Amino acid sequence: MSGPAVDGDRLWSRLMQMAAIGGFDGGGVNRQALSDEDHAAWAQMIAWGDEIGLEPSTDAAANLFLTLPGSDRSLPPLMAGSHLDSQPTGGRFDGVFGVLAALEAVTAMAKAGHRPARDIVVVAWMNEEGSRFAPGMMGSEVFAGVRSLEAVRAAKDAEGLLCGDEIDRIQAAFPNLAERVPFVPEAYVEPHIEQGPELEAAGVPIGVVSGIQGKITSEITLTGQAGHAGTEPMQARKDAVMAFARVASELQQQVGLSDPDIRFTIGRVEVTPNAPSVIAREVRFRTDLRHPSNDVLDAAAARIRAVVARAAAPCEGHVQELVNAPSNSFDPVLQARICAAADAHGHGHRRMASAAGHDARHIARVCPSAMIFIPCKDGISHDPSESATRADVIAGAEVLLDVLLASEKGM
């Protein structure tokens, strides 16, 4: 019998099957955390695992684990995967590629009759995206002890549904899953599309991720005074929408354009009461700020507070920091194994930082961790036009399989 090898047809076909769960016209996917579509994705993953004897389990944060049993089950397991949830108007590759690459790696082992030295766990982290329940990466944060289960369960979606109730709902839908107690993996590897333009521009299929840039997410509330749009003189108004326009324009100039490596985004804006003929009483919005240097990040966050304090008037401005995730570095041994695996397959590779945040950021606090990037078309992600080539998808899975084989005896 030959050694384990990735089956490209199987992997690509499964990616397209998964894209149909929550899929909508134009190639988009809406498969938000703990939604009915997420339930369907779990069912599909568990069914694929059943075919090769993977043991399904979950933990208190509704992370999904599929375990290929190893020879010595007392050893800490290797872990690989990513997330199955998508943005509301997301694409076919973000997250799910990593989960299915990991499933393909263990499937290749099982089909080849290769029993690894230790358990290998395929993981799908709960709510990486943070679009339904904010902030994101809840499952990996709870796993890594960065956020409490209570805080996660208390989050509410836009309809007022509690994350805790939705965790209970998905677990009730799969009553046969074993309950997994907290554990420390031997190592963690996460394949993912780059979500940026660098690999595609360089014509390189494999990114060896050195680390993830830091991120600070804040919620900013501007409070004014409601009033009648037809009567109240302009100079007497405390119009929260106009305060938002001023603050957002200044933040763009003073923060967003202050450094070429800064990424600054206001993606979510809620106006109250949001009625056409009522001067807005409140605007609440999120700022998403990222930079590879923690010093630059902290200085930019201070500037956000200063701009809000100055430009909100005559409204009142309040800044609350929701997430402060400093930049991190991935494990050098795993990075070396990724390079070696890419070389062995003849896949070009380059070291690069990740501009996007990933679950691996948090798991890196618990065990040696690394990420494998593949290119995505035009660098576009979080959009129905998100795309990756079949060849790059297969290359990423091949590298992952080799890294797992190289790591099964331990770090």
Residues contributing to the site for its own copies (CB under 8 A): 87-89, 129-131, 134-136, 194-196, 213, 215, 217, 225-234, 239, 241-242, 244-246, 248-249, 252, 256-257, 260, 262-281, 286, 288, 290, 355-357, 379-383
Query: 3-state DSSP call for residue 126?
Result: coil
Of 93, 81, 102, nearest to 19 (Cα)? Answer: 93
Residue of 28, 61, 31, 66 whose CA lies nearest to 46 = 66
Lookup: tokens for 411: 């770090």
313 closest CA partner among 219, 220, 223: 223
CB of 202 to its own copies, least distance (A): 15
Nearest CB to its own copies, comparing residues 30 and 171: 30
- Which positions ≥6 away from 172 have C-beta within 8 Å? none
Of 54 and 126, which CB lies nearer to its own copies in the complex structure? Answer: 126
Is there a contact between 94 and 195 (Cβ–Cβ < 8 Å)?
yes
**Minimum CB distance to its own copies, residue 207 (Å):** 12
Cβ closest to its own copies, residue 140 vs residue 407: 140
The CA distance from 100 to 406, in Å, is: 20
- C-beta of 72: minimal distance to its own copies in Å? 39
Residue 191, beta-bridge partner list: 372
Q: Tokens standing for 359?
A: 């679950």
Collapsing DSSP to helix, strand or coil, 190 comes out as strand
Residue 154 in tokens: 């208390």
CA–CA distance, 143 with 61 (Å, rounded to integer): 8
When the beta carbons of 58 and 381 are compared against its own copies, the nearer one is 381
CA distances, 16 to each of 27, 28, 91, 240, 388 (Å): 10, 12, 11, 44, 12
CB of residue 276 to its own copies, shortest distance in Å:
4
The CB-of-215 to its own copies minimum distance in angstroms stands at 7
Query: Which is closer to its own copies, CB of 76 or CB of 379?
Result: 379
CB of 361 to its own copies, least distance (A): 11
Q: Please give the structure tokens belonging to residue 61.
A: 């944060």
Question: Between 268 and 345, whose beta carbon lies closer to its own copies?
Answer: 268
Find residue 70's DSSP bridge partners: none
Rounded to a whole number of angstroms, the minimum distance from the CB of residue 10 to its own copies is 28
CB of 168 to its own copies, least distance (A): 24
CB nearer its own copies, residue 16 or residue 201: 201
Cα 323 from chain centroid (whole Å): 14
If the CB atoms of residues 178 and 229 are measured against its own copies, the closer one turns out to be: 229
405 SS3 class: helix
